[in-house]
Chain A
Amino acid sequence: MSDELRPILECLVFLSQEPLTLERISAVLEGVPEEDIRRALESLAASTASPDRGLHLLHTGGGWLFATKPEYDAWARKHLQIERKTKLTSASLETLSIVAYHQPITQSEISAIRGVDSTGSLKTLLEKKLIKIIGHKKAPGNPLIYRTSDRFLQYFGLNSLDDLPKEEEIAKLLQEDKSTEV
């Protein structure tokens, strides 16, 4: 079954610009059990991992997507005439990680943690569609409430918020920092 499904899945994922979800694939391949689809996707992902392929199938942002392999980044950039790729600024990344770990959250709560006003960073993140507004808080001033978006997950190669670096990883990093300094 997996052998028959693989080329079909390859077509469907190829046609997607956003991560293709299992639900969507199920809707297209009516009647095929999700478990079979998942297995076929994993087998496809494994086959694209082979070194003679420039693309690999990624499980990211809650779906499946083709992407070029990191080792060919220089070629991609040369072709697209892009010398540098823009990273988030430190301020934006700080704000984003606070939203990620403390969501749902308001601007003033973020600013309180950072110790600096974060309005500008929030605006940038909204423009980049890495966060979204999900409503107003029932508090004085009815402040906006922010959450991370699906694009956020994809941007960092995560499938869900559970994939965020865990508390232990953070603690470990802080410990390492300390030991390297002493």
Chain B
Amino acid sequence: MTDPTTDALVPEPASATDGYQVRLEIFEGPLDLLLFLIRKKKIDIHDIPIAAITRDYLDYLDRKDQINLDREAEFLFIAALLIYIKSQMLLPRETDLAEGEDPRRVLVDRLIEYQKVKAACSLLRDKEEDELLKWKRSFLPPLPGAGDIEFLEVSLFDLAATFSRVLKRKEAEGTRTIKGKDVSLEGKIKDLLAVLAAEESIDFLEYFERQETVEDAIVSFFGLLELIQSHRVRAVQDELFKTIRVWLRRERGKGHGS
């Protein structure tokens, strides 16, 4: 079943909420339609003229634009039930049916139950309308546009892609390494952690831009991967293809004796 995404209605002032608003054009289901037809014809629900109601009901089904097609089967099911009931009533019988054996009984019970649900709904709707006028702190949505960034935890691929972008940029700068120097992974991890401890969080791009050589950058990147893998830091990206921010994971970092 498909729910409309939002059924947003302008809240009416409290005084205008009297009475039950029946939406005649959109039926929630076959029982809803049946109840509508019964009410329209002012029929006693306990004594439904099945033939007449079935005709009206099928007329509505023909005008399918008023019915959600996903629910066609459910509407047809009730149509079949109506026809079945009529056939049962037409069958000649030796003796008159006792009260409880009325073939319409199954349907009537369901309709009465459904009618109760609809009434309960309208009472609850009134309460809902009253309550929606009272604003509670827990229901407060953030003010629109108040810097609500949705963070996106990044995958290894995002990290790698961002990294290769940095490398390309570095190459384009035409930096040249004159003298090789040993860059140790441990050293870079220590450096990363020191920067993280001092700055709380770092900008992935910015940090690598600061690296002197491509070797430094590559080893730093390995260091970062290592730290992510051991859950000592957290890498989060605001948006795909944007920079990645790295944080220390405080709760776990301590245990690793960094």
Contact = CB atoms under 8 A, between A and B. Distances in A.
| A and B bind | yes
Interface of A: 17-18, 58, 65-70, 73, 76, 80-94, 96-98, 100-101, 113-121, 124, 155-158, 164-165, 169-170, 173-174, 177, 181-182
8 smallest beta-carbon distances between A and B, as pairs: A70-B133, A116-B29, A17-B138, A67-B134, A165-B123, A89-B7, A115-B31, A120-B1
Interface string B12-37: 00100000100100101111100000
B148 to A, nearest CB: 13
Interface string B110-135: 10011111111111110111111111
B134 A170 contact: no
B6 A155 contact: no
A98 B141 CA distance: 29
A83 B117 contact: no
A155 to B, nearest CB: 6
Contacts of B2: 120
Nearest to B71: A116
25 contacts: A17-B137, A66-B136, A70-B134, A84-B10, A85-B8, A86-B6, A86-B8, A87-B132, A89-B6, A89-B7, A90-B7, A93-B125, A94-B117, A94-B121, A97-B120, A100-B120, A114-B114, A116-B30, A116-B71, A124-B3, A157-B127, A158-B127, A170-B116, A173-B20, A174-B115
A115 B30 contact: yes
Given A70-B133, A181-B39, A93 B4 contact: no
Interface residues of B, number: 55
Given A117-B71, A165-B123, A177-B39, 15 more contacts: A17-B138, A18-B138, A68-B136, A73-B134, A81-B144, A84-B9, A85-B11, A87-B132, A88-B128, A94-B28, A94-B121, A97-B121, A116-B71, A121-B1, A173-B122
Contact of B128 (A82, A119, A155): A155
B119 A114 contact: no
Interface majority SS (helix, strand, loop, mixed), chain B: helix
A150 B26 CA distance: 31
Interface centre among B2, B8, B116, B120 (most CB of A within 10 A): B120
A120 B82 CA distance: 27
A73 B133 contact: yes
Contacts of B118: 94
A70 B14 contact: yes
Contacts of B130: 70, 157
B136 A96 contact: no
A114 B117 contact: yes
A82 B42 contact: no
Given A80-B140, A115-B114, A120 B3 contact: yes
A124 B117 CA distance: 19
Interface centre among A92, A93, A157 (most CB of B within 10 A): A93
A87 B115 contact: no
Contacts of B74: 115-117
Contacts of A155: 128, 131
B91 interface: no
Nearest to B137: A17
B198 interface: no
Interface centre among A91, A114, A156, A173 (most CB of B within 10 A): A114
B143 interface: yes
B78 interface: yes
Contacts of A17: 136-138
A120 to B, nearest CB: 4
Given A17-B137, A116-B1, A93 B124 contact: yes
A48 to B, nearest CB: 12
A22 B27 CA distance: 44
A169 B124 contact: no
